[in-house]
Amino acid sequence: MTGPQPPRSCLARVYRTPMDVEAEKHKGWHRHGILVVAADDERLSWPERELIDQLGARLYGARRRKEARHG
């Protein structure tokens, strides 16, 4: 008797390994001029993060901010 079998899926043959998100962002910038930046990316200084936030708000509208909860 054998142990439990892993679930099988018809998608298993097209499943790829997880993508390197940073590498994809790099390619997008160099190939297409598309910049993908997280507004809270710690590699950016505060003024740079503010600029990203302002650009995002101008192009796509203000985003919801998480409310700070105390207590």
Residue range 36-47, pLDDT digits in tens: 999 999 999 999
pTM of the full structure: 0.61
* Angstrom distance (rounded) from CA 22 to CA 52: 18
Model pLDDT, residue 68? 57
Contact at 8 Å (CB) between 39 and 53? yes
Question: How sure is the predictor about 8, in pLDDT bands with cuts at 50, 70 and 90?
Answer: confident
Per-chain mean pLDDT for the chain: 85
- Residue 24: what residue type? E
Model pLDDT, residue 67? 59
Cα 26 from chain centroid?
Answer: 13
Q: Which pair of structure tokens corresponds to residue 8?
A: 């099988």
Percent of the chain with pLDDT over 70: 80
Burial 52-67 (b: 16+ CB within 10 A, else e): beeeeeeeeeeeeeee
